Amino acid sequence: MQTGEHAQEFFSDFSQGFGNARLNVLGRGFELSLEPNTTYNIAIELTADGIVAPPYIRLTTAAAYTSWSNYMGYIYSLAVGVIIGLILIALCCAAVLRDTTFLWFSLSSIFLLSFLCYRSVVGVKLFGYSPETSWWLWLWVSALQISTLMFARAFLTEEAQYSRFQRLFDGTLIFFGLSLALSFVLPLKLNMVLFVFNGVLMMMLILSAGLDKLVRRGRYYLLFMLGWLPVLYALVELGFVAARVPDAHSSTLSYKVVREPFFQIAHMLIHFIAMLIRINELKRQSFLATMRNDAKSRFLASASHDLRQPLHSMGMFLAHLSEHIQNKSSRVLLSKVFQLHEQMNQSFGTLMELSRLEAGAEEAHIERVNLNSLLASLRVEYEPQAQSKGLSLRFHCSVNHLASDQVLLERILRNLLSNAIKYTDRGGVLLGVRRRDQYLLIQVWDTGQGITSESRNVIFDIYQRSQHANSDHAGMGIGLAIVRHSAELLHGAITLRSRAGRGSVFELRLPAIEAPSLPAGSRETSTADRLRIVVELSETTLRSQVNACLHSWGYLASDQTASDQNAAMTLVIGESPGEADYEALVAHAQSLEARFGNVVQAQFGGTVERALAAKLTSLNVHTLSSEFRPAELRSLLRYLEAQWLQGSQS
């Protein structure tokens, strides 16, 4: 500044400190002493490295400058305070609701606010000034872009299945990571072009994904799309500020830095409302799904109750009918009817298990479980099925005992093994048990057809059947839902890893609770404690056939006549006494009760008169056809097991 022959110089270099400059929100000011009626010549030189906004120069009195600086500072501080408050609220929502959408929203807002503050006097005071662009600036911008993209991904791709837009979002994230790596070797201008391109790519992806949601779902997605308009406007305006040549006499382009936080406030408020509407919509959908599941559960419970007795009676009637059919072609048809009846019994058993789980009628009863004994019975039951398909069935167990519910654990393993064998055409199945840290891992590996990524997300759903369960395989497709419910009752978790065409592995993770030691003189709990089967058949061939079937089904049978009072229920399989009168039958039943306690009899014999059949039912005597039919015996066993489970839970 020059007046007459006197010259005065004011110099400010942020790289060397602030000197005698007075900082404000937009930049810096200098205090000049001017005399009235005096002519002054003022020359201003601005040197800057990089792209900056055109300067704004104003000459005012000290009082006016102080008022103006305080006013601008208050507005800017208020806007920043509101943004920080919204970020804290979003972080609280993320912690309470455990929603990653709020978390990424908070992080993107933090990086955006820091980017805006860096361009103001706050950035000058905190970071100073360097004529060279630091490496952390590009890391900063990359973090802003990645967090913004993750927020949009979490909001727009909440579905369980891995959709097309999720793959596009993941590919864009990988490209952003490569851009960050290149930023360390590229010059300034190329870096700016690259990150501007990344921003355009990000907004195009967000807009296309949002429009897709808007067309298919509508509602709050429109609000989500509107929330990006303030940010887009601020970025476009920033580009015009950097490229525009200021007017000859006055320029207020630098005032834009004060408005930018208000654009972010509008952006955050709109997205906040959109996220709240989204949460309310998801809760409503969850409530409706729960109501539908409850209705389906009540239907299953009612259907299971109504089907139990008719199915059992159907098996008895089919057995009686077989005695009256002698024609060979008719007996072939009857054999097919027996097979269908067996399939219905299996489906009924699955429905019974599902209805009890859905109704919350089952509880875990923790006891000492002998894993070796349990796996041995599973091997006996499923090895013939695997061999019939040319598969190998292997068991590997490094744990002898554990504390768990044997009924639930056995149910889980049966379903997993059954599915593995059913959907495997070559290779084999492996069941492994081992400890890992504080958990017990039970894994079922197979070399079957595998499960696609879309099916993996619904395969444990009770009321959805994936493409994995196609029409070539019998069953209702709800066995894995029973596995999931049973695992939850054991405080465990069931997970799946699979590759289509290569095979699958189901992993059951249970708490590794040490099995309690057995008291002196006590014995292991086994299947016989629930249902003991005593075979008292004089005919050798029939006895061998019955024992073979019982062992293949996993039941422990005995032809001993010694009493065993430890069994909860005993099924005595024998032969009909022929022409014995009712008093003899009562005496025989009383003698069995004296030996075994709670006794149910199954007698092979011919047709029974209606009057005698009613009396036999009152004595818990079930009549089987003289010609041994495995399906008929299996039907009776499932009926008795259902009765025992119902009695033990009540």
| pLDDT tens digits, 4-14 | 666 776 666 55
Neighbours of 542 (CB within 10 A): 17
Q: Please give the average per-residue pLDDT across 104-118, as a whole number.
A: 86
Specify the domain boundaries for CATH 1.20.1070 within the chain: 62-290
The pLDDT score that the predictor gives to residue 255 is: 63
CB 601 within 8 A of CB 580: no
431 falls in which pLDDT band (50, 70, 90)?
Answer: very high
635: pLDDT strictly greater than 90: no
The pLDDT score that the predictor gives to residue 473 is: 46
CB-count exposure of residue 432 (10 Å: 0-12, 13-18, 19+): middle
Tokens linked to 549: 């079937």
Residues 6+ apart with CB under 8 A from 229: none
107: pLDDT strictly greater than 90: yes
106: pLDDT strictly greater than 90: yes
610: pLDDT strictly greater than 60: no
The CATH class, in words, for 62-290 is: mainly alpha
Q: What is the CATH number of domain 367-511?
A: 3.30.565.10
Measured between alpha carbons, how far is 425 from 419 in angstroms, rounded to an integer? 12
Of 150-159, 439-448, 459-468, give the lowest mean pLDDT range.
Answer: 459-468
CB 47 within 8 A of CB 73: no
Q: Please give the average per-residue pLDDT across 556-577, as a whole number.
A: 66
Of 170-184, 273-287, 413-427, give the lowest mean pLDDT range.
Answer: 273-287
621: pLDDT strictly greater than 60: yes
Report the DSSP beta bridge partners of residue 7: 2
CB 330 within 8 A of CB 623: no
The pLDDT score that the predictor gives to residue 446 is: 92
Q: What is the CATH number of domain 323-352+526-649?
A: 3.40.50.2300
| 73 closest CA partner among 125, 26, 124 | 26
Identity of the highest mean pLDDT range in 312-326, 427-441, 474-488, 571-585: 427-441
Measured between alpha carbons, how far is 271 from 292 in angstroms, rounded to an integer? 31
The pLDDT score that the predictor gives to residue 104 is: 92
CB 77 within 8 A of CB 122: no
90: pLDDT strictly greater than 80: yes
466: pLDDT strictly greater than 80: no
Tell which wins on pLDDT, 643 or 200.
200
Measured between alpha carbons, how far is 569 from 641 in angstroms, rounded to an integer? 9
Measured between alpha carbons, how far is 595 from 387 in angstroms, rounded to an integer? 39
Of 177-191, 288-302, 411-425, 553-567, give the lowest mean pLDDT range.
Answer: 553-567
CB-count exposure of residue 379 (10 Å: 0-12, 13-18, 19+): middle
The pTM for the full model equals 0.53
Identity of the highest mean pLDDT range in 293-302, 465-474, 511-520: 293-302
Identity of the highest mean pLDDT range in 46-55, 350-359, 444-453: 444-453
Tokens linked to 496: 């799946």
| pLDDT tens digits, 224-271 | 888 888 878 877 776 666 566 555 544 555 566 677 788 889 999 999
272: pLDDT strictly greater than 50: yes
Specify the domain boundaries for CATH 3.30.565.10 within the chain: 367-511
Identity of the highest mean pLDDT range in 49-63, 315-329, 333-347, 532-546: 532-546
